[in-house]
């Protein structure tokens, strides 16, 4: 199993550009989520999904869109990038069963918005 | 609203010395509690978790954590630190009422290990 994979590893954008951060998992997990990590703030939940076709907002959803057409993939879209979105983005997945289940994290995507 | 506090932003410890990282949480009931480690340039790896039973939890890499309900704490410990333990450590809580895996993280503690 590859686990949770994220692409790209690093990206530089100009303000106003759009891009999609890819996330895929091969563990057949129903639950997937996106976090952003900023210095001194830990990880904050952006969006999450409890299955194909079902998504919901987390703590900091503004400026980001998600969709989930398959169990395996959960892309995160930035429609118009802003410098405030400079961050490290982590995707995670976990099985149904609630927070007692282990969440598995990808290696992260480092995004710089100029 | 629930919250997670890691009071120490940065800790420096000598190799071979003991390590304790503090975590306090605010939640109406006993939450699910986690410690994750992030090595430089890597994703997060689960060290250990607690959701019921024995309040002293053993994890990977020789770490343990103790849940103290009266102090709303879940401190992480290691008796003897190795240079490879230099990393950032995150405490996280999950709601027992949540059917899924949403986690709330503390700000993290950066651990530096000196020779």
- With contact defined as beta carbons under 8 Å apart, do A55 and B105 qualify? no
User: What average pLDDT does chain B have?
Assistant: 91
For residue B17, CA distances in Å to B57, B78, B79 come to: 20, 9, 7
Give the list of residues 6+ apart from residue A35 with CB closer than 8 angstroms, or none.
A43, A44, A45, A46, A58, A89, A90, A91, A92, B105
Which among A50, A58, A90 is the nearest to B44, CB-wise? Answer: A90
B95 touches chain A (CB under 8 A): yes
Q: What tens digit of pLDDT does each residue of B88-102 get? A: 999 999 876 666 778
Q: Give the lowest-confidence range in A1-5, A16-20, A87-91, B64-68.
A: A1-5
- Confirm if B111 and B85 have CB atoms less than 8 A apart: yes
- What's the pLDDT tens digit per position in A59-101? 999 999 999 999 999 999 999 999 999 999 999 999 887 667 7
Helices vs strands, H then E, count in chain B: 0, 12
Alpha-carbon distance B104 to nearest alpha carbon in chain A (angstroms)? 7
**What are the pLDDT digits (tens) for B20-63?**
999 999 887 778 899 999 988 788 999 999 988 889 999 999 99
Could you tell me which chain B residue has the CA closest to the CA of A107?
B43
Task: Give the pairing of strands B10-14 and B109-114.
Answer: parallel
Contact: B102, A99; criterion CB under 8 Å: yes
């Amino acid at each position: 199993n590859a686990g949770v994979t994220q692409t790209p590893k690093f990206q530089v954008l100009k303000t106003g550009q759009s891009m999609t951060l890819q996330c895929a998992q091969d563990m057949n997990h129903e639950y997937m989520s996106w976090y952003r990590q900023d210095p001194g703030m830990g990880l904050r939940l952006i969006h999450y999904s409890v299955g194909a076709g079902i998504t919901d907002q987390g703590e900091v959803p503004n400026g980001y869109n998600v969709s989930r057409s398959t169990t395996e993939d959960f892309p995160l879209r930035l429609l118009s990038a802003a410098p405030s979105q400079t961050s490290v983005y982590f995707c995670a997945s976990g099985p149904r069963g609630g927070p007692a289940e282990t969440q598995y994290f990808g290696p992260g995507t480092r995004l710089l918005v100029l | 609203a629930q919250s997670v506090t890691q009071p120490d932003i940065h800790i420096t410890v000598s190799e071979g010395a003991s390590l304790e990282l503090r975590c306090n949480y605010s939640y109406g009931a006993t939450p699910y509690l986690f410690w994750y480690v992030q090595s430089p340039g890597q994703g997060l790896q689960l060290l250990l978790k607690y959701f019921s039973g024995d309040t002293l939890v053993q994890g990977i890499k020789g770490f343990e954590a103790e849940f103290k309900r009266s102090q709303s704490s879940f401190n992480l410990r290691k008796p003897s630190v190795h240079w490879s333990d230099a990393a950032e450590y995150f405490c996280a809580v999950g709601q027992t009422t949540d059917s899924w895996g949403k986690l709330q993280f503390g700000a993290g503690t950066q651990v530096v290990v000196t020779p």
